[in-house]
Amino acid sequence: MQKSRVRRAGAMLVGLAMFAAACGDDEKAATTTAASETTGAAVETTDDVTETTGATTETTTGDTVPAGPSKCGQADGTVTDGDLAGFAGATPFGEGGTDAGFIERLCGIDPDLIDLNYAAETYDAVVITALAMAIADTDGIEYASEINGVTRDGEKCTEYTACLELIAAGTDIDYDGVAGPLTFTGNGEPLQATYGFLTMGDNNRIDPSLTEFISVDGTGTAADVAEVPVEGTRAGDGEVNISGILPITGSLAFLGAPMIAGYNLGIAEVNAAGGVLGVEVTGTAKDSGDTSTDEAVKSADVLLSENVDAIIGTASSSVTKTILDKVTGAGVVLFSPANTSPELSTLPDKGLYFRTAPPDIYQGTVIGQYVLQGGNQTVAILALNDSYGTGLADQATAAITAGGGEVVLTKIYDPAATSFATEVDEVVAADPDAIIVIGFNESSLILRTMVEKGIGPKVKNVYGCDGNIGNGLGVDFDAGK
């Protein structure tokens, strides 16, 4: 039987406090009209509930996924004693994203998915955008002023059709998405989020029975900043174009398929409900590439020339920075489902940048406290050299230090390197209790080097992040990439 474990974290002014005790032992034993270019801490529970001091832990049961052929949202693996077994990583992963109904609809869009990362956040970005247009009664720049309000302080609704009915009745809405409640602050990012800690099984693939959910809540804290005013005069034309710039290629390409599926599902379901402003939504998912290419810039130029009303993307925080001024300068909303760098919280954006992924002030704290709760006192961090990697490393370090642990080594590396032997040798010399790897697809090579040098996940407690955890990592690792 599958067990889904839940921890709750409460946001405290400038940080988080994890209230739950560890829920397990971390010790080591030995298309649609949108065409894609590529094919507090209190929680209500209803099932078995065990209460511990200051925490609520929810355990639910379901079917364990057997080894063997993969099905949508999973990946098959022929390994039976995999070197990645035990590697655990955090990613924004609302429990709604594991809902059988949502997954079935998502897999109706792309039955070949092997990961679900950021599909829910992408879907929600499309729906929130359409709802804001419906409230503003325009696809012009004015609708951007309604986006934050769609997610808070109104009557709850969880489906596009139900939300539209409330809007038509003149009711303020509070859309709780597939990814969770969200509750945007004034700068357009979530105050509430749920992280899934996904863990690799013996076949070097995610074992759903080991997934733990950790919720964070920054409402009522200093993180809930004032509304950023929208600047610009772009007029609507009544033809709604919500397009995407998503990672079809590059270092985050493993996120591309689930994000594109979430995008296309959002467009399809909005149109099935009658569209928005009385018309069907059109759009195209274009490639973002990564920071080694200019794909995102080229994609943005094409979409802006087509009078796009909103762009869902990008996945990489650093890539978003390359097109942020261009897109917002044109009076167009840029709405990322996956950006997590805290730097984006304060960059000038004319009130036109939004994200359904929570900033790493949350993820870093969740990872740091999770590592400490695993019984680790000394930690080494390997992080890629960009705003995402260094920012997440800083947040994790702060959480570990505040919790009484010690970061004995922080090594910032070049993700384009062809070898990470030097960096891993330094980790070996430091001999920490645990290792955090903050990276993208190069994490496969880093982990392979760690295994070769005797500090892989079967020997040390090794943790990852949203940039590397997923079945795609196991596929790459098994292929020797």
Each residue's pLDDT tens digit, 381-397? 999 999 899 999 999 99
142 plus 284 within the same structural domain: yes
Confidence of residue 12 (pLDDT cuts 50, 70, 90): very low
Q: Which of 335, 358, 381 is the last residue of a domain?
A: 358
337 plus 461 within the same structural domain: no
366 plus 431 within the same structural domain: yes
Tell me the residue range of the domain where 439 lies: 361-478
CB-CB contact of 230 with 271 (8 Å): no
How far apart are alpha carbons 36 and 287 in whole angstroms?
Answer: 9
Per-residue pLDDT, 13 = 27
Q: What is the average per-residue pLDDT within 430-448?
A: 97
Confidence of residue 1 (pLDDT cuts 50, 70, 90): very low
Q: Which of 358, 386, 406 is the last residue of a domain?
A: 358
Per-residue pLDDT, 76 = 81
Nearest to 26 by CA among 250, 275, 161, 197: 197
Does 114 map to a domain? no
CB-CB contact of 299 with 258 (8 Å): no
Per-residue pLDDT, 70 = 56
Q: Give the model confidence (pLDDT) of 109-163 as tens digits.
A: 999 999 999 999 999 999 999 999 999 999 999 999 999 999 999 999 999 999 9
CB-CB contact of 407 with 377 (8 Å): no
Does 176 map to a domain? no
CB atoms within 10 A of CB 435: 27
Nearest to 75 by CA among 163, 173, 174, 206: 206
Q: Give the model confidence (pLDDT) of 156-190 as tens digits.
A: 999 999 999 999 999 999 999 999 999 999 999 99
Q: Is the pLDDT of residue 96 over 80?
A: no
Beta strands in 308-460 (DSSP E): 310-313, 333-336, 353-355, 378-384, 406-413, 434-438
Q: Kindly report the backbone phi and psi dihedral angles of residue 4, in degrees, each rounded to the nearest multiple of 5, phi listed first.
A: -110, 115
Q: Is the pLDDT of residue 214 over 80?
A: yes
383 plus 470 within the same structural domain: yes
Q: Is the pLDDT of residue 363 over 80?
A: yes
124 plus 249 within the same structural domain: yes
273 plus 136 within the same structural domain: yes
Does 439 map to a domain? yes
278 plus 145 within the same structural domain: yes
Q: Which of 358, 377, 402 is the last residue of a domain?
A: 358
How far apart are alpha carbons 245 and 85 in whole angstroms?
Answer: 33
Provide the 3-class DSSP secondary structure of residue 71: coil
Q: Give the model confidence (pLDDT) of 217-275 as tens digits.
A: 998 899 999 999 999 999 999 999 999 999 999 999 999 999 999 999 999 999 999 99
Per-residue pLDDT, 78 = 84
336 plus 427 within the same structural domain: no
Q: Is the pLDDT of residue 473 over 60?
A: yes
Does 217 map to a domain? no
Amino acid at 338: A
Q: Kindly report the backbone phi and psi dihedral angles of residue 5, in degrees, each rounded to the nearest multiple of 5, phi listed first.
A: -100, 140
139 plus 283 within the same structural domain: yes
For a pLDDT cut of 70, what percent of the chain falls above it? 85
CATH number at residue 327: 3.40.50.2300
CB-CB contact of 302 with 288 (8 Å): no
Q: Is the pLDDT of residue 341 over 60?
A: yes
Q: Which residues pair with 425 in a beta bridge?
A: none
For a pLDDT cut of 90, what percent of the chain falls above it? 77
Nearest to 320 by CA among 350, 283, 295, 303: 295
Amino acid at 269: E
Q: Is the pLDDT of residue 64 over 60?
A: no
Tokens of 473: 């990592």
Does 155 map to a domain? no
How far apart are alpha carbons 243 and 309 in whole angstroms?
Answer: 8
Q: What is the average per-residue pLDDT within 203-228?
A: 92
CB atoms within 10 A of CB 18: 24
Q: For the chain, what is the domain count?
A: 2
229 plus 335 within the same structural domain: yes
CB-CB contact of 469 with 442 (8 Å): no
Does 190 map to a domain? no
351 plus 365 within the same structural domain: no
Q: What is the DSSP letter of 444?
A: H
Q: Kindly report the backbone phi and psi dihedral angles of residue 29, in degrees, each rounded to the nearest multiple of 5, phi listed first.
A: -85, -40
Q: What is the average per-residue pLDDT within 204-219?
A: 92
Nearest to 411 by CA among 402, 398, 397: 397
260 plus 131 within the same structural domain: yes
Q: What is the chain's mean pLDDT, rounded?
A: 86
Q: What is the average per-residue pLDDT within 324-341?
A: 97
Q: Which of 104-108, 360-364, 454-458 has the lowest mean pLDDT?
A: 360-364
